[in-house]
Structures are given as structure tokens and as C-alpha cells.
Amino acid sequence: MASRRQPAAPPERQTPPLNDELLEDIFLRLSSPIDLARVSASCFAFRHVISEPHFLRQYRAIHPPLLLGCLLDGFRPGGFRPAVAPHPNATAARALAGATTGFNFNYLPLGRWMCTDICDGRVLLRQRCNGSAVSPDLAVCDPLSRRYLLIPPIPDDIIASTHVQKRGFSFGAFLVPSSNLEDTWFKVVARMSDMERLVIYIFSSEFGYRSVGTSTSWGDVGVNDPATSYQYWARYDHRCFLWNEANRNQVLKLDINTMEFSSTDLPPGDIWRHVVTADAAEGRLAMFTMIKNSTTVSYYTKNEGQRTNEWQLEKTIPLPCQCKLLCASAGYIFLMSTKKRDMTIFSAIYSLEIKTLKVERLCSTEMLYAYHVHPYFGFPPFLSLRRI
């Protein structure tokens, strides 16, 4: 008797290969930069997709960089302070702190360096002591890759053309946010001023110092007594750099597109109060103001193109303790509370999200004195791919 034939097994279906478009769609759904970093390190094909400029643009548009901590400057080296629990980004911040030692900057040439600005994952530093030099030494670092670029001093002929006097001058340098976050090039704005003039110099990592950005007198921007006007750290918002002028209800503004200075009056109040201005979205400016060591902060808004100086009080926000305002960055306001014990100051850093007005404790530190706090955002794996 003939045996029955067994039916042939159906051919095994082959899993179609994942093309780049499908991989991109999958990777864009990873909300955590830590997970994206792990995927990027798993194989060359995944890293190739993640490092593409168009993917980076899409990812950063969907997932804003995480607030992970801050860098501190003071008499004692501050270093990086990661966000701590119960902050929602504490896990990612701890991973960043454990993944790199690039925030100690011990790979820079010998000297005393201090942090001046942080932008797009890059850190701008300057020499603390540089004798009587008009233009101090600057360096731009990528802490994740521990790479850096030393920025040459401003050429003497360019300084001479602006007639800045060495006596009584001040100097500040700041990074310009990139319009394309995957750009390998960057720009630094250097602001120099004496008793008569303010001058802006632009350094490009692609072209060097090309020319003077702008030069104007204090009187032209409405400041008639610069001797009593100490310029606080610059803040970047609305394609502009902003400086609060001490001893006066005024904000100095530099439009980075037109390279023009202007000033904006603030609501009447105590000239010794702390003031921070920022972006309130929908064409409005935000202002946060408080008296030193207060337990509340006042939130005002104003239309960006409004000619009058009328600010509207939106809300008085309670704080968890006595604080002082520090700075604004990437949609947040930052505050600090301090307690002194013997010769040591114990400080806690708080963030206030402008969109939600939610206050959260970010990190804490023990320092003899803190010059400034620089918030650090990011930890995307592609920062280390940028050329510096």
C-alpha cells in the first residue's frame, strides 16, 4: 500500500529587513535620551540612522532636551551638580554624571578656568586670571567627548578700531544658540565696554573674528551713568541677549540679528530687587521679580511689540523657602536658597517652569561662595559626534 505523501511545509516567511525610514519612526518614539544613547551604541546601523542631521532635527523638535543639573562657579571649584530625586530627571542626570568626567575640565591647558556660558551641550570657559589683557583666554568644550577648542584673543587691530579703553573696561562672552542643533560650527559673542562705549565682537569657529558686530555709546541706549551700572550675566531669549542693569529699573537688550542695542524699562519698584526676563510664548515677554530672600516671586507679562511699558501682573507664586532669583534658560527660571553654617554656605537650586509655573528642587551644593549657576540641558548621544 502506497504511503501517503506528507504535505510540504510552507516556506518559512522571511522577516523583511528594517529600512532606515522604519528605524527612524521607531527611534523617534523613544522619549528618553538615555534609551536613545543605548540604541545608538548597540550597532553601527542604528548609530548611522541616529546621527543623521534630519533625524536629529526631528528628535529634538519632538523631545526637548532634559534639564539635568547645573555647573557652579565659586571660590571652590563647583563642577557639575546632577538633578537629584525626587526630580523627574534624576535617573538620567545620574547616568550623565557617571558616564563622563568631562565636567572637571582638567584636560584644558593649565590655568584657572571658570564657566561663562552653556548652550547646545557646549560649555564656554574663560581664564580667571589673565593679567591686564583686554581679551581673556576662552575655550569651548564638549564635556561628553572631552574635546575643546581654544579661542584666540581678539586681534589688537579690531580692538583699536573700537577705541575701547583698558582702564575701567569690562568683558563678557556668551555662546549663540545654533539654529540647526546638529551644526558642527558655533559662534561666540564677546561684549566689551568701558565708561563710554559698548562693543560687540563675533567669533565664528568657521571664520574666526570677522568684524566688529556693533559699537555704540552708553547714552545711545539710555544709560547715562555706567559707573554705577554693573552688568549681570547675559540671558538669551527671542534671538536677543538681555542684561539686567543694577541700580536701575532697566534691561539692556542686544538683537543678535540686527546687532542693535536697546533698553526696556521695568515696572517701578525697589531698585535692589532681583529681576529675570524671559519668553512667555505667543509673542509675550515674561518678567519674574522678587526682593532678596523672599518666599514669593511675582510674575508679569507684556506684549513683545508693545510700545508702552505697561506690564501685567499675572500671578504671585509661593516658594518652598526664602530664595533669590538667578537666571532664565530654555523655558525655566532658576532660584537659590542658602543657609550659612560657620564659614560654609549650603545652597539648594530650584527650577520654575514658565509654562506650568511648577517649582521643583533641582540639586544642592556646599560652597564657600557661588558666583553663578549655569543650567545644563541635554545628554543626547549625538553631542559627542559634533566636531569642536
Domain 64-385, classified CATH 2.40.50, yes or no = no
Q: Are 381 and 87 in contact (CB under 8 A)?
A: no
Closest CA to 335 of 313, 315, 311, 363: 363
Closest CA to 121 of 175, 46, 43, 78: 175
Sheet-wide strand order for 66-74 = 79-82, 66-74, 370-378
Q: What is the pTM of this model?
A: 0.79
Cα–Cα distance, 352 to 335 (Å, whole number): 8
pLDDT attached to residue 318: 95
| Domain locations in the chain as residue ranges | 19-63, 64-385
75: Cα within 13 Å, side-chain hemisphere: 7
- Show pLDDT as tens, one digit a residue, over the chain (388 residues): 555 666 666 666 555 566 888 888 888 988 777 677 778 767 888 888 887 777 877 887 788 788 999 887 754 445 788 999 999 888 888 877 877 778 888 888 887 888 888 888 889 998 865 545 567 789 998 887 788 989 888 877 777 777 766 555 678 888 888 765 555 678 888 888 777 778 888 888 877 776 677 778 777 877 766 655 555 567 776 677 877 765 667 778 888 888 888 877 777 666 567 788 887 776 677 889 888 778 999 998 887 665 555 788 899 999 999 988 888 888 899 998 888 777 677 788 999 999 899 999 999 877 645 567 889 987 554 444 344 4
pLDDT attached to residue 296: 93
Helix, strand, or coil (residue 369): coil
Closest CA to 199 of 209, 211, 218, 214: 214
95: Cα within 13 Å, side-chain hemisphere: 15
Cα–Cα distance, 249 to 347 (Å, whole number): 28
Strands 260-265 and 294-303, bridge-based pairing: unpaired
pLDDT attached to residue 84: 92
